[in-house]
Structure 1
Amino acid sequence: MPSVTIKDVARLAGVSPSTVSRVISNHPRISVATVKKVREAMETLGYHPNMMAKSLVSKSTKTLGLVLPRSAEELFANPFFSEVLRGMLAYANQKQYDLLISSANNQQDELETVTRMVLGRRVDGMILMAPRKADPTVEKLLELDFPFVLLGRSLEHPNVLAVNNDNIKASFDATQHLIDQGHTRIGFVSGPPDLVVSEDRLKGYQWALSKAGLPMRDEWVMESDILPKNGFHAVSMVMNLPDRPTAFVVSDDVIAFGMIRELVGAGYQIPEDVSVVGFNNIVLSELSNPPMTTVDIGIYHLGYQAAQHLIRKLQGEEILQTGLTVPHRLVIRQSVRSFIRR
């Protein structure tokens, strides 16, 4: 059976082949009635555009590249990634863009994967997640003058396209909530130390303590990766100190789950003995025992806005505000004990 061509679609729709091409390319000057006619003809004939051939002509792949900075094990362990991806796909699908997704085990792997996507002309733009300090992938994309957006921020290049939370203020709010409940000995569990977001959340914690005149003890600040098992171990040594924290701000809900499991296994009760505030407000935080107080950073909206910001740039729009900030909110549940008498 011969394959269906643009000419076949044009004949059925009663328009020229060039009009069919413009409909496929989403040309803004084609009327709604004509678009409807052509789309119906395409559906009737089972016609699907040859996007590879189209990209050779238009020099556009209609594809965004995304490298998730985690191994497969971590991606499945942390719901943050699936939720942010859901947001990206929602906007990309609206604009008929696809996502080319890969994952990287380390910084060098990420750089090589991004370079391969860009130089291979497989994508029109890149979305980078969790940028690092002095990030070589950011430097490479700037060197190549290739469109990209950060999910986070760059310390060295504050004017690049970026979608982020105010992580300093978010961490301040989480710490201040514990202070408001009467806690004076507050620990902090950070994410990987090379990430900008980890540094920002540590700054917010330090700011809240300083403002309240409370001490920040180095031994109460721990670094962890974004896997539950690391939460199991991060808290062990600090809880054996003679002067231990009564509460923790934890930079990721999944780490917090690991900590709570470790604490309960060691005989502590949450929140009677130790209070915990997490980050991200993933679905499981409401279902944990007890339901966990956490900072909702709008994960879905971060992904949605990142895709929107990049596609707007690819479509030639003038971007006056390169940095977008997604609001956060503290979700108060039952994992924090109050020492304040009401």
Structure 2
Amino acid sequence: MSEIDAKAGKSRNGAARVRIEDIAEELGVSRTAVSFAINDRPGVSAETKRRVMEAADRMGWHRVYAAQALGSSRTMTAGFAPSRSFNELDDESFMLHFISGLHEGLCARRYGLLYRPCLTMEEEMKVYEDWASHKRVDGVVLINPCDDDPRPALLKELDVPAVIAGRAPGEPPLPSIGIDDSTAMTMILDHLYLHGHRCVAYISGNESLNYSKERVETFNRYLREHHMEHGYVEFSDYDAERAAHSTMRILTTGAPAPTAFIYETELLAATSLRTLSKAILDKNSDAPCWDYVRMLPAIVSFEDSFVCESTFPSITAVRRDARAYGERVAGGLLDVFDGKPVPDDQKAVHLQLIERESTRGYVRAL
């Protein structure tokens, strides 16, 4: 067994903790060089960093976060305290994948993620005050920026670094990394327009959120530019039953009735599709399968997941790599920690429209 393996064995068995000095001695380099390499600081070559990290892994070295915090004033932890209902967090696959990417991006630099979901923005702000007073995190990630958002000013007052995941209104108060929601909406409407739809309804989420406002503005502008005289916009506050109720009401009272619906999330789309299907089948119980499908309006979801693939008909959706987005936001926060500029990137995620049965010519269009 090599000396490195022997030391690793002792460490794993609890007999001794591998120290930075042990790695320096093993490689024949200075303690400072090992410290710089482990903490990803400038001053050592890429080859030295590689050798140090390989040796640290083989020897079973683990970072002592408490000691590092005392020595460098860093906690090696980023905070994420989104103010959303627990139902939203459970039901939205985008957020789950975003958190996964956020965690993965932070882990690349050996940072941890402190996740603390909140029910209200007021609760979220109290969490930031608590984190700041107890020095729990080095910085935080904000989501869902809105007009007159009080959180950036609070974080500046608390001297807590932060990055906004989303498009901030006006002059961004903090570095922001967003998704081009205008392009996503245009992509959906182009698809529906080419399929012959001239009357479309958009069942949005929360009207106070900036990304919802941007989507609504793009929706209305598209209708004007393409001389589509009729369109409907309603807000569901992400309540699936409310979205389904709005869908049925618009279909039965709209003049003219829309031939296509756009939904903010896959859950809103799937629940509305189920309600529509039941209403049609109750009136046409003997209709052949595809005859029933042709009676449905076209349906598109702004979020894609296995839900869209599992329904019948399967649902056309915009695919956004939420995991990659989370990694990109984590990278932006790490840049802030390092004192590096973070470009105002509002096209951080590749968008792709996945066409499925709900708009693939099986459904009716004008």
Q: Fold-level match, TM-score > 0.5? A: yes
Please, what TM-score do these two structures have when normalized by structure 2? 0.82
Aligned to 1:223: 235
Cα offset for 1:46? 3.8
Q: Which secondary structure state, in structure 2, belongs to the residue aligned with residue 295 of structure 1? A: strand
Question: Are 1:71 and 2:97 counterparts?
Answer: no
Q: Which secondary structure state, in structure 2, belongs to the residue aligned with residue 324 of structure 1? A: coil
CA contact (8 A) 1:191 1:251 kept: yes
Aligned to 1:155: 169
Aligned to 1:97: 111
CA contact (8 A) 1:176 1:208 kept: no
Return the match for 1:324 from 337, 340, 346: 346
Return the match for 2:272 from 259, 262, 268: 259
5+ residue gaps in structure 2? 1-14, 282-291
Aligned to 1:137: 151
Q: How does 1:88-127 map to 2 (within 5 A)?
A: 88-127=102-141
Cα offset for 1:291? 1.7
Aligned to 2:253: 241
Aligned to 2:365: 339
Cα offset for 1:317? 2.1
CA contact (8 A) 1:87 1:302 kept: yes
Cα offset for 1:264? 1.1
CA contact (8 A) 1:192 1:223 kept: yes
Name the aligned partner's letter for residue 87 of structure 1. Answer: G
Cα offset for 1:93? 1.9
Q: Which secondary structure state, in structure 2, belongs to the residue aligned with residue 325 of structure 1? A: coil
Q: Which secondary structure state, in structure 2, belongs to the residue aligned with residue 266 of structure 1? A: helix
- Worse-matched range after superposition: 113-122 or 205-214: 113-122
Q: How does 1:302-313 map to 2 (within 5 A)?
A: 302-313=325-336
Change beyond 3 A, Cα 1:44–1:167: closer
Name the aligned partner's letter for residue 346 of structure 2. Answer: L
Change beyond 3 A, Cα 1:4–1:95: closer
Question: Are 1:192 and 2:206 counterparts?
Answer: yes
Q: Deviations over 1:46-66 (max 9, x none)?
A: 442321121122122222211
Q: Deviations over 1:310-337 (max 9, x none)?
A: 2122222233x22331342322221123
Q: Which secondary structure state, in structure 1, belongs to the residue aligned with residue 340 of structure 2? A: coil
CA distance in 2, matches of 1:51, 1:174: 47
Aligned to 1:288: 311
- Worse-matched range after superposition: 88-97 or 203-212: 88-97
Cα offset for 1:278? 0.9
Cα offset for 1:226? 2.8
Question: Are 1:272 and 2:295 counterparts?
Answer: yes
- Worse-matched range after superposition: 14-23 or 327-336: 14-23
Alignment: residue pair count: 337
Aligned Cα root-mean-square deviation (Å): 2.6
Please, what TM-score do these two structures have when normalized by structure 1? 0.87
Q: Deviations over 1:58-96 (max 9, x none)?
A: 122222211233233321211111111222223222222
Q: Deviations over 1:208-253 (max 9, x none)?
A: 1111212345xx3221133534433332322331632221111222
CA distance in 1, matches of 2:226, 2:32: 68
CA contact (8 A) 1:276 1:292 kept: yes
Cα offset for 1:206? 0.7
CA distance in 2, matches of 1:193, 1:33: 52
Aligned to 1:250: 263
CA contact (8 A) 2:295 2:364 kept: no
Q: Which secondary structure state, in structure 2, belongs to the residue aligned with residue 335 of structure 1? A: helix
Q: Which secondary structure state, in structure 1, belongs to the residue aligned with residue 81 of structure 2? A: strand
Name the aligned partner's letter for residue 258 of structure 1. Answer: T
CA contact (8 A) 1:280 1:298 kept: no
Name the aligned partner's letter for residue 221 of structure 2. Answer: W
Aligned to 2:66: 52
Cα offset for 1:12? 4.7
Question: Are 1:300 and 2:323 counterparts?
Answer: yes
Q: How does 1:196-215 map to 2 (within 5 A)?
A: 196-215=210-229
Name the aligned partner's letter for residue 152 of structure 2. Answer: V
CA distance in 1, matches of 2:61, 2:142: 34
CA contact (8 A) 1:271 1:335 kept: no
Cα offset for 1:34? 5.0
CA contact (8 A) 2:276 2:296 kept: no
Aligned to 1:21: 35
Query: Whose radius of gyration is greater, 1 or 2?
Result: 2
